Amino acid sequence: MKVAVVYFSQTGVTAKLAGAVMEGLGSHDNIHVTEHRINGTEIFEGRFRNQPLLDELNGCDGIIFGSPTYMGSVAAQFKAFADATSDQWCEQLWAGKLAAGFTCGSGLNGDQAATLQYMATLANQQGMLWMGLDLPKNDPREINRLGCQAGAVAHSAHGEADPRDLDTARYLGERFAKQVSRLKGNS
């Protein structure tokens, strides 16, 4: 099975979350993980252009999205990627695939949930199945410390990722791998 992690990171915190998600995915032998960090050179005149990436995503069993929260939503670079998926939407090429997301912000509640809601809406428009967390805020492992069930959320007031937030992202990857295996009949 093939899972992609597609994200944008400016300061490196979102990239660290992506790395933790991929570690979690990698804990399952039957998952091949592909990573794509969105960069500015893929955006021309405001439009994301990377058809080989979009073609590769068409062949994935699941996609995990990541973006920092800027001004209450995804970063412009991630939004440009999302807008470029309209052909996938028109043909429902991602329908039935599993989706999840992760984000970070400098505030304890800097509207990170709105960023995950945007990603979930994108996934739902694509016909994908959104998967969140299944962890209470008071989990004894101290993961999901910020209490968001929609996906993995991190607080990085000083440009560093909290180890508990990285553990939450790792858990998201592990959970995603189990669920995509179940969906594909390989549980």
pLDDT in tens, 78-135: 999 999 999 899 999 999 999 999 999 988 777 899 999 999 999 999 999 999 999 8
CATH T-level assignment (fold) for domain 2-183: Rossmann fold (3.40.50)
Angle between helices 163-183 and 13-26 (to 10 degrees): 40
Q: Is the dihedral of CA 51, 126, 152, 80 positive or negative?
A: positive
pLDDT for 168 beyond 70: yes
- Amino acid 138 reads N
Average pLDDT, the chain: 93
Task: Please report, rounded to a whole number, the percentage of residues in the chain having pLDDT higher than 90.
Answer: 78
pLDDT at 33: 97
Rounded-to-integer distance, Cα 84 and Cα 104, Å: 23
- Domain range list for the chain: 2-183
- At 187, the pLDDT band (50, 70, 90 cuts) reads low
DSSP H or E stretch at residue 100 = strand 98-105
- At 29, the pLDDT band (50, 70, 90 cuts) reads confident
Rounded-to-integer distance, Cα 13 and Cα 86, Å: 28
DSSP H or E stretch at residue 47 = strand 47-48
- Tens digit of each residue's pLDDT (9 = 90 or more) over 43-78: 999 899 999 999 999 999 999 999 999 998 999 999
- Of 151 and 158, more confident: 151
pLDDT at 141: 81
